[in-house]
Structure 1
Amino acid sequence: MKSVFSREIKEEYILIHLDDDPLELKNFARKIQANKKNISFKIISVVNLFDFKRIIRSFKKIDFAVLDIFLSEKDHKNGISIVSELRDLHPEIIVLMSSNLDDPDSILQSLNAGADEFLSKKLKTENIVDKILTIRKSAYLKRGIEHKNIPSDRKYDTIDFAGESLKKVYLRIPQIINSAITAVYVEGESGTGKEIIADLFSSFILNGPFIKINCGSIAPSLLESVLFGYVKGAFTGAISHKSGLLEDANGGWLFLDEVSSLSANAQVALLRVLENQEVTRIGESTPRKINVRFLAASNIPLSSQVEKGEFRNDLWQRLCETEILLKPLRERKKEIPDLILFFCQTMQGGPYRIEKTAMNVLCQLPWDEGNVRELRNCLRAMTEHQSDKVLSPMGIPERILAKSKKHDEQNEIISDCKNNILIRTTDENGKALTFKQMCDELLDKYLQKFYPSKINLSDAAKKLKIARSTLQIKCKKLKKY
C-alpha cells in the first residue's frame, strides 16, 4: 500500500481574471487548468470592476492578475485603472494586461501602468502556465525579489555586500548576462557602490575575461594606447607589439570606470568599437575583430554631460542599452542599519558590536557627501575607541557629527512644517543651480514625497495641473518612470 506521505505536494497559486467577456474567462480558465505540471491554480473569474475591487480585498495574497484593458462602457474605466490599487494590496502580485488589440498604444498603456507583461487574446497559447511562470521569474528578478519557488542562477557568493539596493542589482545580473545586452551603464555618486557592482558582474562571468580600467587614472595621451594597443615603432618607446585592454577583454567584459573622463578622441575611437566590434592598434591599418561587452560607470550623470556638449550623445546612447542607477545613501536611509551590521561583521579585527545609541545616532546623520564609503570609514574610525569590541557613540568622529549640525541649520526653516519640500540651490561642487535644474529638483522631491512607491501619472498631473504627457516626459528625464 502506497503511503500518503509519498505523494508530492502540489504548488498552489491564486489567479484573478477580470474580463467582461464570460467566454474569454471560461477559455482562459480551461487553458490554465489543463496544465500537466504538478501545479494547482485557484482561478477567480470576474466580469466587472465593482466585484473585482471587493474580491481583491478579501484575499491576503493573490499571485497573478489578468486584466482586460478595454472593459464594457458601463464600467467607464479600463483594467489599467485598477493596477495601482492592486499592487498596493498585493505587492508581489504579477499583473498581466490582456487585449484583442496588438497595437503600440495598448503596450504603452500596459507599460505605463506598471504591468509585468502583455498577453494578446489573439495568441493561441496552450502552454500558458509555462508562460506566466516565466514572466513571474523575470519580473521578480527585475524587482529584486527572491522567492523560494524561483530557482537561482547565481554561481558564486564570494562578494560581500549589504543593502537592499545592491541586492536588487545582484538578482538582475544573471538576467543581463544571459540577455542580448552588450552595454550596461551604472550611475551613482562617489561611494554608492559602483565598484561593488563591477565585482558582482565579475563573479558571474564564467567563460571569459573581465577587465577593469579607471579612465580617470590614466593620462589622456596614454589612454588610447592602453585601450587599443600598439605595434612596434608606432611611437617613441613602442619597442614591441602590445595588445590593448579591448583585445584582452575579447570574449568577455570591459569595465570602464569614470567613463565621463574620456577625451574627445577616445570617445570617437570607442564609438567605432561599439559600432563595429573592431579594434585597430596604434600604428596598424588592419582592424581586428573582437567580441566585447561593456560595463561603464560614472559618478557624473552622462545625460547632463551630453547636454553640456562634454560627452558624445551617440556614444552615450550605445553605452546605455540598460542602466543601473544607485541612489545616494541619504535617499535610502532604511539600509543604514543593515550596512552598519555588515561592516561590524567584516571590518578588520572584528566582529564588532555596536551600542543601540550609536546605531540611532548614525541613522540620523545626513550622509550627504561620501555615502556608503563615508559610513564605512566612520565605523572604522570608531574602532579606535572600542571597548571589548563594542562601538560606542563617543567614537563617532567630530567632523561627522558637525555635518549633522550644519544640515540641521540648513533645514531649520522648514523643520516645523511637514508639507514643505527642501531643494538645493547648489550642486555637489558648490556651483549655483540654474532655474531649470531647481525646477527639476523640486519635481523630483515632490514625486518622492507624495508617490514613494509608484507614481500615478494621471493623479499627479491632475494635482500639478499639467498635461499627463508633459509629466510623463519630465519623469522619464528624471529617470523616475
Structure 2
Amino acid sequence: MADKAPSGRILVVDDEASLREVLTIMLQREGYDVETAADGATAQALLRESDFDLIISDIKMPKITGLELLRFVREHAPETMMIMITAFSTSEDAVEAMKLGAFDYITKPFRNDEIRLIVRNALERRALRQENQTLRQELSQRYSFANMVGKSEPMQQVYELISKVAPSKANVLVTGESGTGKELVAKAIHFNSPRRDHPFVPVNCGAIPETLLESELFGHEKGAFTGASGQKAGLFEVANSGTIFLDEIGELPASMQVKLLRVLQEREFRRVGGTKDLPVDVRLIAATNKDLATETKEGRFREDLYYRLNVIHIPLPPLRERSEDIPLLINHFYQSHAGHDVKISDAALRLLLDYPWPGNIRELHNVLERCLVLGSAESIGVDCLPPQVRDAAAGTLLHDLPEDGLDLDAYLAAIERELLLKALERSNNVRTRAAELLKMSFRSIRYRLAKFGLDVDE
C-alpha cells in the first residue's frame, strides 16, 4: 500500500489555461487543496491574502515572470516551496531558478508520475523544516529562563544573571547542592544564546573512569591504544560551534585539569595518539556542588583553571532557602505530568514547606511522583507524603519556638496524625484498640482518622 501523500495548499501559476486545468485535476485527485493564477501579478495578490505550502509556476509568463515571482516568494513567504516549469532542460532560466532557491524544475512535456513525485518531495521537505523549527522553538521555550519556576528573590537574581550572560561567549561556573537544577541553568544559557542551533553536549566528569576520560573528551586516533580500532571524535569536537557542559567539574583528575586548561587558553586540542592540534570553538559551562575556592586553596584543584572557569559565577540556592517557590514547583509538576493544577491540604503544605529538602528539587519531584501514583491526581494530602517528610515536624517537638513563629494548628495536626498512625500500627489497624491506646472513644478516633484520610477497615 502506497504511503499517504502529505497534505498541502498548492498554487498553480501559468498563463496557459489548459495546463492549469490539467495540473489542478491531477493534484486534487492526490488530495491537495489547489488554487490557480493566470499570471504572476494575480499570484502575488493571492500570496498577500493567504499562505501556500507549494507554488508550481511557469518561468516564461507575460508581465511578471516566474523568476520575478520566485524572488517575491523568497522575500515575502520564504517557507513556501517552489517548483518551476520550463520548456527546455538546458534552460539558463532553470539554472537561475535553482540558484534563487527553487526546490526543483520540470521540463515540458512532463509525465504525471514525475510531477507527483516532485510535489510529494517538496511538501515533505517543507514539513520537515516546520517540524525542526517547531522543535527548536519548543526547546528554546522549555529552557528559557523566563519559564524556569520560581518567583523568590534568589531565583530572580539567577534569571537576571542568565539573561546577561547568555548572549556572551564567557565561561560560566554554576554552583549549588545536588538537585538544585544546575544542568537546567546550563541549558537555559545555551538555548538563549547565539549558539542555540548548535549542539549542547553534557558531560558528567564524575561518571567517566579516569582512564577513559581523555579519550571521551578529546577523541583518539586509530591504534592509539588497545581496542582503538578506528578514529573517534571526542565530545569537544562534537560540541564544536555549540556549548559543552562539564558537570561535577570538581571531580576532574589533576592530569585532565592541565589538558582542559590548555583547551581554554589555546582554543585547540589534540586527540589521544594524534600529532595534530585541532581548533575548536565551544562555549564552556561548568558545574559543581563543591566549594572550588576551598578545593583550590587545599591544592585539589588548579588555581589557574579555577579562574578560567569562574568568569561568571551563578550560585543556585537550595530549595530550603526559597520555600515560597514550593507551591509553584508543585503546580508546575502536576501541570506537566497530570495536565492540571493540584489542591494541597493545609497540613500537607505546611509539612512540605517545613521539610529541609536535602535532595532539593530532585527530591521534591520524587515525593510528588509518589503522591501522583499513591494518592489522588486532584489533590495532595498528608497521607501520600513519605515518612521522612511527615516525621520532620514531629522531630522538632522538643525544640524552642522558631524566631519567625509557628503555624500551631498545622504543626499539632502533623503530630496528631503521626500518633494516630503509630497507634494503628501497634494495634494492627484495629480501631477500638487504637482508641484505647490513645485514651479516646471509638467515635472520636473514627472522626480523627476521617479528618486525615486514614480510614481503615477492621
Q: TM-score, normalised by structure 2?
A: 0.53
Match of 2:263 in 1: 273
Q: Using a 3 Å threshold, how does the CA distance of structure 1 residues 316 and 351 change in structure 2: closer, same or farther?
A: same
Evaluate the alpha carbon distance shift between residue 236 and residue 170 of structure 1 in structure 2; reply closer, same or farther with a 3 A threshold: same
SS at match of 1:192: coil
Deviation at 1:325, TM superposition (A): 0.2
Matched, 1:224 2:210: no
Aligned to 1:163: 150
**Which residue identity lines up with residue 415 of structure 1 in the other structure?**
L
Partner of 1:210: 200
CA distance in 2, matches of 1:416, 1:162: 28
Residue number in structure 1 paired with 2:352: 362
Match status 1:235 vs 2:222: no
**Aligned alpha-carbon RMSD (Å):** 2.6
Judging changes above 3 Å, is the alpha-carbon distance between structure 1 residues 417 and 221 closer, same or farther for their aligned structure 2 residues? Answer: same
Q: 1:315 to 1:217 in 2, by over 3 A?
A: same
8 Å contact kept, 1:210–1:252: yes
Go from structure 1 to structure 2 and tell me whether the alpha carbon gap of 1:376 and 1:418 turns closer, same or farther (over 3 Å shift).
closer
- Render the CA deviation track for 1:117-164: whole Å, top value 9, x for unaligned: xxxxxxxxxxxxxxxxxxxxxxxxxxxxxxxxxxxxx99312363113
- Structure 2's unaligned 5+ residue stretches are 1-137, 406-458
Give distance in 2, aligned partners of 1:321 and 1:379.
Answer: 36
Q: Which structure has the larger Rg over C-alpha atoms?
A: 2
Instruction: Quickly say closer, same or farther: Cα 1:296–1:383, change in 2 above 3 A.
Output: same
CA shift digits 1:351-409 (9 cap, x unpaired): 54322332232112222x11111122112112234236222121111122223444x26
Equivalence for 1:297? 287
Instruction: State the partner residue of 1:258.
Output: 248
SS of 1:186's equivalent? strand
Q: Which residue of 2 aligns with 1:475?
A: none
1:84-119: CA deviation from partner (whole Å, max 9, x where unpaired):
xxxxxxxxxxxxxxxxxxxxxxxxxxxxxxxxxxxx
**TM-score, length basis structure 1:** 0.51
Q: CA deviation at 1:268?
A: 0.7
Large movers: runs of 4+ above 6 Å = 416-419
1:307 is aligned, of 289, 297, 308, to 297
* Counterpart mapping for 1:301-340 below 5 A: 301-340=291-330
1:418 deviates by: 7.0
Which residue identity does 2:212 align to in structure 1? Answer: L
Equivalent pair of 1:208/1:251 in contact (CA under 8 Å): yes
Deviation of 1:280 (Å): 0.5
Alignment of 1:82-101 (within 5 A): none
Secondary structure at 1:323's aligned position in 2?
A: strand
Matches within 5 A, 1:402-417: 402-406=391-395, 408=396, 412=399, 415=401
Distance across 2 between alignment mates of 1:158 and 1:351: 19
Point out the more displaced range, 220-229 or 203-212.
203-212
Query: Which one of 169, 177, 191 corresponds to residue 179 of structure 2?
Result: 191
Bigger CA drift: 171-180 or 183-192?
A: 171-180
CA contact (8 A) 1:187 1:324 kept: yes
C-alpha contact (below 8 Å) 1:259/1:297 kept by paired residues: yes
Mapped to 2, the partners of 1:416 and 1:270 lie a distance apart of 48
8 Å Cα contact 1:254-1:293 kept in structure 2: yes
Structure 1 gap segments, 5+ residues each: 1-153, 420-481
The percent identity for this pair of structures is 38
Structure 2 CA distance, aligned partners of 1:365 and 1:276? 47
Distance in 2 between residues matched to 1:195 and 1:347, nearest whole Å: 21
Residue 173 (structure 2) pairs with residue 173 (structure 1): no
Rounded to whole Å, the distance in 2 between the matches of 1:316 and 1:243 is: 26
Picking from 363, 373, 387, the partner of 1:384 is 373
The residue matched to 2:148 in structure 1 has which SS? coil
For 2:244, what is the secondary structure of its paired residue?
Answer: strand
Structure 2 CA distance for aligned equivalents of residues 381 and 238 of structure 1:
45
Q: Match of 1:157, SS?
A: helix
Q: CA deviation at 1:260?
A: 0.7
Matched residue count: 262
